[in-house]
Amino acid sequence: MGASVSGRYPLAVTGESSVLRTNIAGVMLRNPVILAAGTHGTLDEFNEVCPLDRVGALVTKSITPEPRDGNPTWRVIPARAGMINAIGLANPGIARFERHLAERLASVPTMVIGSVAGFSIDDYVRVVAGFEQVAAVAVNGSGSSGAGLELVELNVSCPNVRTGTEFGHTPALIRELLLAVRPAAPRLKLIVKLSPVCHDIVAVAKAAIEAGAEALTICNTIPAMAIDVESRRPRLANITGGLSGPAIHPVALRLVHEVYRKVTKDAHGTGRAVPIIGAGGVTNWRDAAEFILAGASAVEIGTALFADPRAPLKVVRGLERWVIRQRAATISELVGSMISS
């Protein structure tokens, strides 16, 4: 262990340590710890419980063209190692959210990643165009301040709505979607958030990258359900929902490893490096470090925020110590550095 990490670590961890700076599709994040879509409010409400100037980025709630109330309750229940949710994309719709985001963006102290959902290609184009509009008038501060709006994440993998997930399952559809969305967002980098249950995630990842995806998030929740055995009724009004939290971490880790090794590691033969953001069950820095070693350049934290809203700060601090212990100059040196032989 190096001298800098022996003894007590400074309490005032800023999250600004240069060893953690992370490049996602040309956009610099101050560190690789990102708040996952739908798990911390719609935009920056979480600042009250977790200082957002210490995290690398936040992903907004997934936004659809029209406002949505989502599914009836119950729509979130605890599971043995995580939770099952069937929120059903409750959100204010792009017109209202666009106004809100435009007003607030300059005061959000971290990078904002706009999450986009829909039920048709046109839906995605409309929402992406809304985010593009905000980016066009915003004074972005990436690079120096690590804040602004330069990335959108296409949620093609929400299991809690009747349609809208198919894009994430079929290479031809994901290609069609990206080719339509790309021209609507000339200023924004496109991240595609993949499902853990598609038939062939490698084929979907390849298709997404060929059609213009500049980063991938792996992964969304896993379809799941629970039954109350006394009433014999499903515990979620929607019957099924998405499982998240520690239960899915090993599954997500394997998917990151697979896509990194087979698709993004050699930049898919294009010479273009495509970063992966690992999501699924990150609760502590070790879970995050595992994702980095498997090939992720950053991680998202979702379910852990419900139990400990300051978990991201602990993950940042643990990663800083780990990078130093590994004697790496920056965390990017450790991306995909798992020793397998």
Inter-residue contact 224 to 84 (CB < 8 Å): yes
* The token pair that represents 117 in the structure block: 């959902």
CA-to-CA distance for 16 and 27, rounded, in angstroms? 15
Inter-residue contact 341 to 75 (CB < 8 Å): no
Interaction pattern, residues 56-85, with ligand FMN; x per rule: CB under 6 A:
-----xx-------------x------x-x
Q: Which amino acid is at 15?
A: G
Nearer to ligand FMN, 4 or 219 (CB): 219
38, 295, 318, 336: residue in contact with ligand FMN (rule CB under 6 A): 38
* The token pair that represents 208 in the structure block: 């997404």
- Residue 158 annotated in active site: yes
224, 301, 316, 319: residue in contact with ligand FMN (rule CB under 6 A): 301
Stretch touching ligand FMN by CB under 6 A, among 12-20, 22-30, 33-41, 120-128: 33-41
Inter-residue contact 50 to 312 (CB < 8 Å): yes
Q: Which amino acid is at 65?
A: P
**Taking CB under 6 A as the rule, does residue 238 contact ligand FMN?**
no
Size of the site for ligand FMN (CB under 6 A): 28
**Taking CB under 6 A as the rule, does residue 191 contact ligand FMN?**
no
**Taking CB under 6 A as the rule, does residue 220 contact ligand FMN?**
yes
- Taking the complex as a whole, how short is the minimal distance between the CB of residue 177 and ligand FMN, in angstroms? 15
Closest C-alpha among 194, 188, 197 to residue 174: 194
Residues in the chain: 341
**Taking CB under 6 A as the rule, does residue 297 contact ligand FMN?**
no
Closest C-alpha among 130, 125, 274 to residue 212: 274
| Residue spans of alpha helices (H) in 222-299 | 249-259, 285-294
CA-to-CA distance for 292 and 275, rounded, in angstroms? 11
Interaction pattern, residues 277-296, with ligand FMN; x per rule: CB under 6 A:
--xxxx--------------
Stretch touching ligand FMN by CB under 6 A, among 208-216, 257-265, 269-277, 300-308: 300-308
- Taking the complex as a whole, how short is the minimal distance between the CB of residue 149 and ligand FMN, in angstroms? 17
Do you find a cis peptide bond into 219, omega within 30 degrees of 0? yes
- Taking the complex as a whole, how short is the minimal distance between the CB of residue 299 and ligand FMN, in angstroms? 9
Q: Which amino acid is at 62?
A: S
Interaction pattern, residues 321-340, with ligand FMN; x per rule: CB under 6 A:
--------------------
Q: Is 300 helix (H, G, I), strand (E, B) or coil?
A: strand
Q: Which residues are catalytic?
A: 158
Question: Using CB under 6 A as the criterion, which residues of the chain lie in contact with ligand FMN when the complex forms?
Answer: 36-39, 61-62, 76, 83, 85, 87, 89, 115, 155, 158, 193, 220-221, 244-245, 248, 279-282, 301-304
